[in-house]
Amino acid sequence: MSSSQYQLHGNVAVITLNNPPVNGLGHELRSGIVAGIDQAAADANVKAVVLIGSARAFSGGADIREFNTPKALAEPNLNTVIRIVEASPKPVIAAIGGVCMGGGLELALGCHFRVAAPGAQIALPEVKLGILPGAGGTQRLPRVIGVERALNMIVSGAAVSSEQFKGTALFDEMVEGDLLQGALAFAQKVIAENRPAQRVRDLKIDYPNAEAFFQFARNTVGAVAKNFPAPLKCVDAVAAAVARPFEEGLRLEREFFTYLVQTPESKALRHAFFGERAAAKIPDVPEDTPTRKIEKVGVIGAGTMGGGITMNFLNAGLPVALLEMKQEALDRGVATIRKNYENSLKKGKLTREQLDSRMALLKPTLSYDDLKDADLIIEAVFEEMGVKESVFKKLDEIAKPGAILASNTSTLDVNKIAAFTQRPQDVVGMHFFSPANVMKLLEVVRGAKTAKDVLATVMQVAKKIKKTAVVSGVCDGFIGNRMIEHYGRMAGFLVEEGATPWQVDRALEKWGMAMGPFRMGDLAGNDIGWAIRKRRYVEKPEVKYSRIADVLCEMGRFGQKTGAGWYLYEAGSRDAIPDPKVEELIASYRKEKGITPRKISDSEIVERCIYALVNEGARILEEGIAQRASDIDMVYLAGYGFPLHRGGPMLYADTVGLYNVARAVKRFAAESGDRFWEPAPLLAKLAAEGKTFN
């Protein structure tokens, strides 16, 4: 079917945008709109034109998939379409319902009249993609809703409900009931009254003290924009709308748009947008796979993890039975949940009623009997196979048929866990990240026998509890932790060779990581990594580690929870204070090993740590543990504080160029003799072929 339709309703031509899912203004649709306008112009019987979309969307904006392709610029481009609409000899009325965003709103602003259904979502969200509205939005929106309000919308990208614009020139009328009928009735009024076509570009902007306002805006926006260039360009473009003639403002906006769309920051944001949506899809699990009903949840273990997991479901309005073995531990877990909610209440993020209704959904229990009717049961018990075995055997006995049995394990073999039951098809991994009520990431671990409808259900549940879910195959550490182990290993070697922990942290934080590896270790507890290494020394003696971290742990320096780790912490504070004692410890360790420290540059720190992620990521991709490169990026963006403006480790590698990454990796291999640094076959292959991961 064509992406637009032209129909006559008496003397009104209706052009219906029909490019599902959200009427993205791709080349075909743009051409269709122009053809419709031309057809209406040529038909003497047509007195007005209505542009309308679907119930879901007037239009979600320019088709982002066309960016940086010839189609984006192919005529008629969006600016041309808007110019043609604006110059139409017949009045054009935009009938807006559902989503009206970005280029969609810009198109509507090019129409002579606009009517809207209540609840339509109006936004210029381009800034979230690292760009600015590039089809007149920065010039026209201030003319209809005022400078400050428009600037707020453009810089935040936030959506506003149509009825909030009552009394502004954005909408001529609100339409209750059928939108098309309302728009047609409005068209008849325009025709009958012979209303002159209104062009937004002709509206005057009168804004006293503009210079002072925009200076203030630049300071405020600049402070929060950090690594992203788009927000400040938005301010400059709106400033031009006030200070310059319309056409000049439009030209400047276009210049900014052309620059921004090429920036790595914009590419990273667009990658994250599509990556998040792609992650929700599983190639062999069709979107129409029937799902199981999840109306009641059981969580086993009321520790930090179990408590955080529980809160996700309470927040989403689902009742949870929280099981512990001992009353004291149960009371402690429930008290922590309550305290977290009380803190949100104090910060004004939650009302007393919300707090009460969430707590009312919680049923603390010491008995497995209370999990009998749960549709989904998640265990968050001690990370030891024997403990998991007894839990899953018990669940197999008591859980109702069809209940999904999930493990929050971060390292153990989900297939083995599934084999403790007679229903391995119902078993899946749901790996939350701490604090589980805050962190966006959920690794959904697909066992060899996990049923498709179980996967589809868990992905749906993830959406409900507002997580970014990424499917991982079964392997030690899954996607995220398997990669981070090598990143941490490299950080350890860098300290051994001459860097301080604070230099490593600072270099990576300056590069954009939310937290360097040593501060992260102190936060998570260094004993966790220690336990894993002890296991590795036995299972994989060929993998080398710096032992400085072990010495630290032997001294009981587990991090924030013990007041000292790599850094020192004052009571009640999370501020990491570099500790001379740690420097002494490192120095004596080097002496003992006969290592002469050398000066290490920040760029070496970043390359070795980040390329460690990339090289292991390539192996994970090749083994099919991750379904696609962007899934790995989503894991790192949502769960590991990887800088959004770099788009994730795999996109970053693509940006640097895989040829360059592979060369560096080979150099590290030669310098260190560490077999890990042999380039992953997939990396070597793509580099040789001049291709990318994404």
Whose Cβ is closer to ligand 3H9: residue 7's or residue 68's? 68
Min. distance of Cβ 315 from ligand 3H9 in angstroms?
19
Which segments of 2-100 does DSSP mark as H helices, in order? 27-42, 70-73, 78-86
Whose Cβ is closer to ligand 3H9: residue 461's or residue 680's? 461
Min. distance of Cβ 141 from ligand 3H9 in angstroms?
11
- What three-state secondary structure class fits 216? helix
Tokens linked to 419 = 């084999």
Min. distance of Cβ 593 from ligand 3H9 in angstroms?
52
96, containing H or E segment: strand 92-96
The sheet carrying 99-101 orders its strands as 57-59, 99-101, 121-123, 160-161
Min. distance of Cβ 239 from ligand 3H9 in angstroms?
18
Min. distance of Cβ 85 from ligand 3H9 in angstroms?
14
Backbone angles phi, psi at 473, to 5 degrees: -75, 175
Task: Report the residue number whose CB is nearest to ligand 3H9.
Answer: 102
Identity (one letter) of the amino acid at 337? I
Whose Cβ is closer to ligand 3H9: residue 98's or residue 182's? 98
Question: By the criterion CB under 6 A, which residues form the site for ligand 3H9?
Answer: 21-22, 24, 60-65, 78, 99, 101-103, 106, 125-126, 129, 133-135, 137, 274, 277
Active site residues: 106, 126
Query: Taking a C-beta distance cutoff of 8 angstroms, is the pair 20, 65 a contact?
Result: no
Which segments of 87-178 does DSSP mark as H helices, in order? 103-110, 137-145, 147-156
* Residue labelled with tokens 């209809």: 144
- What three-state secondary structure class fits 655? helix
Min. distance of Cβ 271 from ligand 3H9 in angstroms?
12
Closest CA to 285 of 91, 52, 446, 113: 446
Whose Cβ is closer to ligand 3H9: residue 135's or residue 564's? 135
Min. distance of Cβ 281 from ligand 3H9 in angstroms?
7
Number of H helices, E strands in the chain: 28, 20
Whose Cβ is closer to ligand 3H9: residue 106's or residue 654's? 106
Render the burial of 225-263: b for 16+ CB within 10 Å, e for the rest. beebbbbbbbbbbbbbbbeeebeebbebbeebbeebbeb
Query: Taking a C-beta distance cutoff of 8 angstroms, is the pair 413, 535 a contact?
Result: no
Angle at 396 between CA 393 and CA 402, to 5 degrees: 155
Query: Taking a C-beta distance cutoff of 8 angstroms, is the pair 402, 290 a contact?
Result: no
Whose Cβ is closer to ligand 3H9: residue 388's or residue 467's? 467
Whose Cβ is closer to ligand 3H9: residue 103's or residue 643's? 103
Query: Taking a C-beta distance cutoff of 8 angstroms, is the pair 502, 519 a contact?
Result: no
Min. distance of Cβ 98 from ligand 3H9 in angstroms?
9
What is the spatial distance between Cα 135 and Cα 250, in angstroms, rounded to a whole number? 8
Angle at 145 between CA 87 and CA 22, to 5 degrees: 65
Min. distance of Cβ 40 from ligand 3H9 in angstroms?
24
Whose Cβ is closer to ligand 3H9: residue 253's or residue 522's? 253
Min. distance of Cβ 12 from ligand 3H9 in angstroms?
27
Tokens linked to 86 = 């604006």
Report strand pairing: 121-123 vs 160-161. antiparallel
Backbone angles phi, psi at 363, to 5 degrees: -120, 100
Q: Decide: residue 347, CB within 10 A, 0-12 exposed, 13-18 middle, 19+ buried.
A: exposed
Whose Cβ is closer to ligand 3H9: residue 63's or residue 654's? 63
Whose Cβ is closer to ligand 3H9: residue 106's or residue 324's? 106
DSSP 509-543: HHHT-SS-HHHHHHHH-HHHHHHHHHHHHHH-TTS
